[in-house]
């Protein structure tokens, strides 16, 4: 079974600085998808960024980028120029591709605080 | 319309009550999910519906009864709940397509308190 591990229960960052959240996963599949979801205190879970395992290029979405190391099964999230609105729980998630309704496998989450 | 809506936002119920949670999406997604989320924890999968049929039940107690009356609507019927069932209940949906990565959209959740 696939597992996702987030080893940092809590992180903090100064406003405008950069922070990296760690995620590792375990799978025997060669093709899969990885996601970072953000859940602010308002509780709406939203997708931050995604990565297809067959793509070697790291995904980027504005201030958010990932460092995807397939051999190491590592998928970290880098947030640049941190803003107060980035404060939230961040969940790393895994899913097999082309698998109909197969659900996401979540890590335990990292709570990010942004200090003004 | 690119959102999943859930009603009610908050619900307080006694252990003998019967209530229902409602989830709706109009994105044409044929996979719909119920999750339970405790504070500071990740969502725990409860049920998955695929083409309006229950495809995954994660050994959820029978006091939770899901229903998918049509492709846009997902209900969760609650009866004789326990205080430990108090949590945020999240609904999600996504398309079932072989060729895309299929983003999963989450609703805002229903905050349930069982007294």
**Nearest-CB residue to A106 (from B42, B49, B94):** B42
- How far apart are the C-alpha atoms of A69 and B47, rounded to whole Å? 32
Searching chain A, which residue's CA lies closest to the CA of residue B41? A108
Percent above pLDDT 90 for chain B? 76
Searching chain B, which residue's CA lies closest to the CA of residue A92? B42
CB contact under 8 A, B106 and A109: no
- How far apart are the C-alpha atoms of B90 and B107, rounded to whole Å? 6
A25 in contact with B, Cβ within 8 Å: no
**Nearest-CB residue to B42 (from A52, A100, A109):** A109
Total beta-carbon pairs less than 8 A apart between chain A and chain B: 53
Q: Phi-psi bin for A30: left (phi > 0), alpha (psi -120 to 50), beta?
A: alpha
Residues 6+ apart with CB under 8 A from A56: A70
- Structure confidence at residue A46 (pLDDT): 92
Mean residue pLDDT across chain B: 92
- Structure confidence at residue B101 (pLDDT): 63
List CB contacts (< 8 A) between A109 and chain B.
40-42
C-alpha distance from residue A52 to each of A3, A75, B2, B23, B60 (Å): 17, 11, 22, 29, 31
- Which residues of chain A carry a pLDDT beneath 70? 98-100
3-state secondary structure A15-78: CCCCEEECCEEECCCCCCEEEEEEECCCCCCEEEEEEECCCCCCCEECCEEEEEECCCCEEEEE
- Structure confidence at residue B2 (pLDDT): 66
CB contact under 8 A, A44 and B31: no
Backbone Cα Rg of chain A = 14
CB contact under 8 A, B106 and A45: yes
A109 in contact with B, Cβ within 8 Å: yes
A55 in contact with B, Cβ within 8 Å: no
- How far apart are the C-alpha atoms of A113 and A84, rounded to whole Å? 8
Nearest CA among B35, B63, B38 for reference residue B49:
B35
- Structure confidence at residue B91 (pLDDT): 97
CB contact under 8 A, A44 and B50: no
The region of weakest confidence among A57-61, B98-102, B105-109 is B98-102
Residues 6+ apart with CB under 8 A from B73: B22, B23, B24
Q: Is residue B97's pLDDT more than 80?
A: no
Write the pLDDT tens digit of every residue in B15-70.
Answer: 989 999 999 999 989 999 999 999 989 999 999 999 999 988 888 999 999 999 99
Searching chain A, which residue's CA lies closest to the CA of residue B88? A43
- How far apart are the C-alpha atoms of A35 and A92, rounded to whole Å? 6
């Amino acid at each position: 079974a696939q597992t996702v591990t987030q080893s940092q229960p809590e992180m903090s960052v100064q406003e405008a600085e950069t922070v990296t959240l760690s995620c590792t996963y375990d799978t025997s599949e060669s093709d899969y998808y990885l996601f970072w979801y953000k859940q602010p205190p308002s509780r709406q879970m939203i997708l931050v960024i995604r990565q297809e395992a067959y793509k070697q290029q790291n995904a980027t979405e504005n201030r958010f980028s990932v460092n995807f190391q397939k051999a190491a099964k590592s998928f970290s999230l880098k947030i640049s120029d941190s803003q107060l609105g980035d404060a939230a729980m961040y969940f790393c998630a895994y899913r097999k591709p082309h698998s109909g309704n197969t659900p996401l496998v979540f890590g335990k989450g990292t709570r990010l605080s942004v200090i003004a | 319309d690119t959102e999943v809506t859930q009603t009610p936002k908050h619900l307080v119920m006694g252990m003998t009550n019967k209530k229902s949670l409602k989830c709706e999406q109009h994105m044409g997604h044929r996979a719909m999910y119920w999750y339970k989320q405790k504070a500071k924890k990740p969502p725990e999968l409860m049920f998955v519906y695929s083409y309006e049929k229950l495809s995954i039940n994660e050994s959820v107690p029978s006091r939770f009864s899901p229903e998918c009356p049509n492709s846009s609507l997902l209900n969760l019927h609650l009866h004789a709940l326990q205080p430990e069932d108090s949590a945020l209940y999240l609904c999600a949906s996504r398309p079932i397509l072989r060729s895309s990565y299929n983003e999963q959209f989450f609703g805002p959740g229903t905050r349930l308190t069982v007294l």
